[in-house]
Structure 1
Amino acid sequence: MSAPRSVTALAGIFAVAGVVHLVKPELYEPLMPSWVPAHREVILGSGVAELALAAGLAAPRTRRLAGWGSVALLVGVYPGNVQMAVDAVKGDNPAFTAAALARLPLQWPLIRMALRATRED
Structure 2
Amino acid sequence: MARVVRRTPGSPLLLAGLLAAAGLAHFAVPRPFDAIVPRALPGSPRVWTRASGVVELTLAAGLAVPRTRKLSARATALFFVGVFPANVQMAYDWRDRPAPARGLALGRLPLQVPLYLWARAADRSASAK
Equivalence for 2:30: 25
Separation in 1, partners of 2:27, 2:94: 24
Amino acid at match of 1:50: E
Gaps of 5+ in 1: none
Structure 1 residues 1-121: aligned runs within 5 Å: 2=5, 5=8, 6=10, 7-37=12-42, 38-89=44-95, 91-119=96-124, 120=126, 121=129
Amino acid at match of 1:87: D
Provide TM-score, normalisation by structure 2: 0.84
**Kindly tell me: are residues 3 and 109 of structure 1, through their superposed partners in 2, closer, same or farther at Cα, counting changes over 3 Å?**
farther
Provide TM-score, normalisation by structure 1: 0.89
Gaps of 5+ in 2: none
Separation in 2, partners of 1:31, 1:81: 7
Structure with the bigger RCO (C-alpha within 8 Å, sep 6+) is: 1
Separation in 2, partners of 1:92, 1:106: 20
More helix by share: 1
User: Does the 8 Å CA contact 1:22/1:48 hold for their aligned counterparts?
Assistant: no
Question: Over residues 51-94 of structure 1, what are the superposed CA-to-partner deviations in whole Å (9 max), with x where a residue is unaligned?
Answer: 111111111100001001101110001012112112212x2232
CA RMSD of aligned residues (A): 1.7
Q: How many equivalent pairs are there? A: 120
